[in-house]
Amino acid sequence: MIAMPDQPSRKPLVELRNLSKHFGEGQARVDALRDVTLTICSREVVGLLGPSGSGKSTLLNAIGCILEPDQGWMRLDGEVVYENRWLRGNLRRLRLEKIGFIFQTHNLLPFLNCTDNVAVVLHLAGWKKSAAIARAHELLADLPVDHRKVAMPGQLSGGEAQRVAIARALANRPRIILADEPTAALDSVRAGIVMDLLHKLAVEQDAAIIAVTHDEKILGRLDRIYRMVDGALSS
């Protein structure tokens, strides 16, 4: 009998315990996150569903170390970064090294062409110019939007701009990818291409992906689905 190589065990990459966040005080107080406890492992693509105002984007921003929670505990890629306060001093470096963001709006830099919009993340991380450009071209081809690699953002359609923004989010091979409506601007074919690429990268890079979505086209491509209502999470 030929022994098959062992598959690497899945590693918890996002671990939250009783994470909470509120805005305002008194009668105006809104509990955006209420004791959220969650574990997401490597090679998982997880969906986050819920009505507008349920706390989905707040949760993504907390995991992405953009928004400070009020209390709770959070460990990212094995490092405890929050326990009722930030424990990591340089959050910008943490985001640059470990987290990729895909936003509802593409936020491309209008003075850079598509290739440079993707490569700029790698320049900031210290990559050589030739390697950064090669990586940018690889991702633009995967999506596929490489035929627009020298176009400026103002020349792109909404779907093209979103795919370039996705390429930028994936450029530095982040372990954690946070996606806010990543396929909303895409038709069913291109949405499928994006989700297939995210699954491929989750496996190849041993990464975890969390996608906020209302897109019925991609629900069947998610490994797990969580729902949020009034800041609380349920599976």
The per-residue pLDDT for 10 is: 81
Q: How far apart are CA 125 and CA 181, in angstroms?
A: 26
Contact 105, 51 (CB under 8 A): no
The per-residue pLDDT for 102 is: 86
The per-residue pLDDT for 232 is: 94
The per-residue pLDDT for 143 is: 86
> For the chain, what are the domain ranges?
12-234
Q: How far apart are CA 99 and CA 22, in angstroms?
A: 24
Q: Which residues of the chain have pLDDT under 50?
A: 1-6
- Superfamily for the 12-234 domain: P-loop containing nucleotide triphosphate hydrolases (3.40.50.300)
pLDDT by residue (tens digit) across 106-139? 889 999 999 999 999 898 888 999 999 999 999 9
The per-residue pLDDT for 235 is: 67
